[in-house]
Structure 1
Amino acid sequence: MSSLFTEELQRIINSFIIVIILFTISYIITSIIFPSTEKKITKFERFVFIWLIWDALIHLILEGSFVILSLISTVEESKGILAELWQEYGKADSRWLHSDPTILSVEIPTFIFCGPLSLYIIYLIIINHSTRHYWQMILCTCEIYGCWITFCPEWITGNKGLDTENLMYFWIYLLFFNGIWVIVPMILMYQSWKVVTENDRLVKEFKLKGQKID
């Protein structure tokens, strides 16, 4: 019993360490590209940059590993540290253990499209490109919709695959780790909406003044 508990605890610790390492990498990369003394971007933009790097790493490494494991076999039958991470998460949502078609249908485009798109938006921020907020809104829409499609079928069918009784599984695994992919994209969408509407207002003002906008 003690050995089993130790193994379970180690798996939980390893899973959190992986997530923390990816976030640390995101912070370090941001600090290299935009040093703390650099006044080129605001604190909020620095947060967005860190988030987008972390977002890309999560999509490409963690969710990418889930897709590969699920297409080759199943998470439950797989070995390795990333398989163990998903096996741990599968205690909260058992669909992730058995190559559930709904989950795979969400995760495949997330891995293939959202991961690279996050990297592309990072590039657009670095070069200060005008299309950055267009692509940022698309990414955020995909992520929010992905969360909805992930959980809506479960809600409709009575949460058969979800463990809502265990406090850690419910509040941390299900609500926190999925909730941040709703809350942060909504914040970024609001940022993009403000930029787009402000730019539209300025263009209309210039047109009213009879100035030519290239």
Structure 2
Amino acid sequence: MATSPPFTLDQGTALSLAVAFSLMPSAQILAAKALKPSVPRKYYLLFLWHAYDFLTHFIIEGSYLYHCFFSYVEVPVSPSHSQYEGTVEQQAYLFNRPDRRYGALYSQAPMARLWQEYAKADRRWQGADLTVISLEILTVGLGGPAAVYVCYLIAKVVNSDDQAVKARSQSRLWFVAVMLATAELYGGFITFAPEWLSGNTALAGEDPVYLWLYLVFFNMLWVFIPLWILFVAYQEISGTFSLAYAQKAAQKSK
């Protein structure tokens, strides 16, 4: 496993944690603005999670992509680099620029400081890891808009008095929610499976804060809650089919 300095709650760390923990109150404010006060608890929790989801994707993970693409330092190219060109041993660099190192590590911006802090637990996030970047492009570019759309559909279901609108919005809601939850689970596995297979070479879990807060808590949210969404979606879909078959059976018996 990787090693990092012990956790220290300095000003930069406090600011980074404040940004991360401010997103849930922000999601609650959005829910209060977008939903009726009498919203069923299931839909309220679904809205709350997906609002938190798209805020995280756009603000936090979006900043990661920004620094991967635009924050860099120039470095000298080793003379030995050329001997590997065209071979499987050649290291893959972002934009095929071995003379540059990209990532949040090379910026002093506030959101870069957040990623520098998280990288103490998983050092892949301090630079431009190509696998992580590829996943985050999908997460920010597709997962974020999908979460926004789910919130929009929940508001339609909860706030509309038109039954046709409710029915149409519900069918779309559960379709998109299932796709997004499945993608979140898949993305989490692809993020951490390479580390498990390599013996956790980039993870630093010797400090309990890095292990339980940064690695476990912040990442397991995207395991347990998508699993809950899939369970609720299964109940909704199976209940709808059971009701449809019961209505057909009642019609035939007349």
TM-score (ref. length: structure 2): 0.76
Task: Name 2:98's counterpart in structure 1.
Answer: none
Task: Name 2:234's counterpart in structure 1.
Answer: 193
Distance 2:103 2:26 in 1: 29
State the structure with more CA Rg.
2
Aligned pairs, number: 204
Distance 1:59 1:88 in 2: 18
The answer to whether residue 136 in structure 2 is matched with residue 125 in structure 1 is no
Distance 1:106 1:61 in 2: 16
Contact 2:35 2:155 (C-alpha < 8 Å) held by counterparts: no
Deviations 1:89-128 (A, max 9, x none): 0000000112111111211100000000000011111112
CA deviation after TM superposition for structure 1 residue 30, in Å: 0.8
Q: Which has the higher contact order (CA 8 A, sep 6+)?
A: 2
Contact 2:27 2:52 (C-alpha < 8 Å) held by counterparts: yes
Q: 16-25 or 103-112: which moved more?
A: 16-25
The answer to whether residue 224 in structure 2 is matched with residue 183 in structure 1 is yes
Which of 46, 49, 68 does residue 48 from structure 1 map onto? 46
Unpaired runs of 5+ residues, structure 2, are 1-5, 71-101, 158-168
Unpaired runs of 5+ residues, structure 1, are none
CA deviation after TM superposition for structure 1 residue 34, in Å: 2.5
TM-score (ref. length: structure 1): 0.90
SS at match of 2:146: helix
SS at match of 1:135: helix
Distance 1:158 1:118 in 2: 33
The answer to whether residue 192 in structure 2 is matched with residue 151 in structure 1 is yes
Report percent identity of matched pairs: 32
The answer to whether residue 215 in structure 2 is matched with residue 174 in structure 1 is yes
CA deviation after TM superposition for structure 1 residue 8, in Å: 5.6
Task: Name 1:116's counterpart in structure 2.
Answer: 145
Which of 109, 120, 123 does residue 94 from structure 1 map onto? 123
The amino acid that maps onto 1:182 is V
Task: Name 2:65's counterpart in structure 1.
Answer: 67
SS at match of 1:76: helix
What do you get for the CA RMSD once the two structures are aligned?
1.8
CA deviation after TM superposition for structure 1 residue 148, in Å: 0.4
